[in-house]
Amino acid sequence: MDFWNLTIKIILLSQTTAGILGNFSHLYYYLVHYAESKLKPTYLIHMHLMAANTLIILSRGVPHTMAAFGLKQFVNYFGCRLILYIQRVGRSVSIGTTCLLSIFQAITISQKEFCCKDQKVKSAKYIECCIALLWVLYMLINAIFPVYQFIKRNSKNVTRKRDFGYCSTDGRDEISDSLYSALVVCPEIFFSFLMAWSSCYMIVILYRHKLSVQHIHSTCSSRRISFESRATQSILVLVSTFLSFYTLSSILQGCIALLNNYNWWLVNISFLTSLCFPCFGPFVFMSHYSMVPRITCSGS
């Protein structure tokens, strides 16, 4: 057990460190290189996604890593509620911005395919509003849960506490579970389906364009085919990484919520999987955007 404890500690520390360095390096790059110019819509979405992932790592990865190394219950009740609030906001905004990024990329590739440049300009104008709406909406939605927990805490009904290692809070009940399912879980599932659909749509467009340029015997066409093949693979990696990690994380968190006597392994694996996409997402997106093909009307 000591060996596995040490292994979990090393994995948590490595994962958290890599996530902080990856997300902060991307944020630093955008803030320094585009400080005096307006960000492109794709870069703007990317920057907010990195900010949401950073919130997840700082509020979930760092406290749990500290607890794994022996610093237990170092946060009081109100600090614990604040940490959980930041976790939920970061997770919700991360899922929402990833979905927005996938949809915007699908629209961009579709418009380049059909040479509708005016539509691209129109769609880019709404990106800032959508991102601001995501932040404000999820900050308000997730504020319901700490307020409800505070009201319930002052009531006579005492529920079983949930121990996170670094802090503990009151357990959830049927009302909070229903609110969480309706306001958080259902939109996350909807965003996941939207992202999968838009990514499949991109792959279809890229495949059709690849077939259309196969008859053009030139060096440029062969390069485009290579770019399209790699772009399709990167999109598949992006979607599968996002959906697999978040789906597995949701399943494990659901098991923890339903089981009264969950074991040590289940808790630690749940924490590790929930941090996988926020920590390794920057590296996946780095390869994704370096391979998006430039589809022009001349090649169709």
| 163 three-class SS | strand
Please name which of 45, 106, 57, 11 lies closest in space to residue 277, comparing C-alpha atoms: 57
C-alpha distances (whole Å) from 275 to each of 47, 54, 151, 278, 283 are: 18, 10, 31, 5, 14
Angle at 253 between CA 248 and CA 255, to 5 degrees: 95
pLDDT at position 222 is 46
Q: Where are the beta strands (DSSP E) in 89-214?
A: 161-163, 168-170
Mean pLDDT, residues 163-189 taken together: 77
Q: Residue 61: which region, alpha, beta or left (left: phi > 0; alpha: psi -120 to 50)?
A: alpha
Those residues with Cβ within 8 angstroms of residue 38's Cβ, 6 or more apart along the chain or in another chain: none
Which of the two residues, 121 and 66, has the higher pLDDT score? 66
Q: pLDDT tens-digit profile of 204-232?
A: 877 777 777 665 544 444 444 455 556 55
Mean pLDDT, residues 140-144 taken together: 90
Q: Which stretch of DSSP H or E encloses residue 88?
A: helix 77-113
Instruction: Report all structural domains of the chain as residue ranges with CATH numbers, in order of start.
Output: 6-154+165-294 (1.20.1070.10)
Residue 144: pLDDT band (50, 70, 90) is confident
Query: What tokens appear for 100 in the block?
Result: 């927005």
Please state which of the ranges 20-34, 98-112, 173-187, 219-233 shows the lowest mean pLDDT. 219-233
Model pTM?
0.83
| 168 three-class SS | strand
Q: Which amino acid is residue 223, in one-letter code?
A: R
The residue with tokens 């306001």 is 183
- Whole-angstrom Cα distance, residue 270 to residue 165? 14
Which of the two residues, 31 and 86, has the higher pLDDT score? 86
- Whole-angstrom Cα distance, residue 5 to residue 215? 58
Query: What tokens appear for 59 in the block?
Result: 């509020």
182 has pLDDT over 50: yes
pLDDT at position 294 is 41
173 has pLDDT over 80: no
The residue with tokens 């049927």 is 174
Q: pLDDT tens-digit profile of 84-114?
A: 899 999 999 999 998 888 888 888 777 665 5
83 has pLDDT over 70: yes
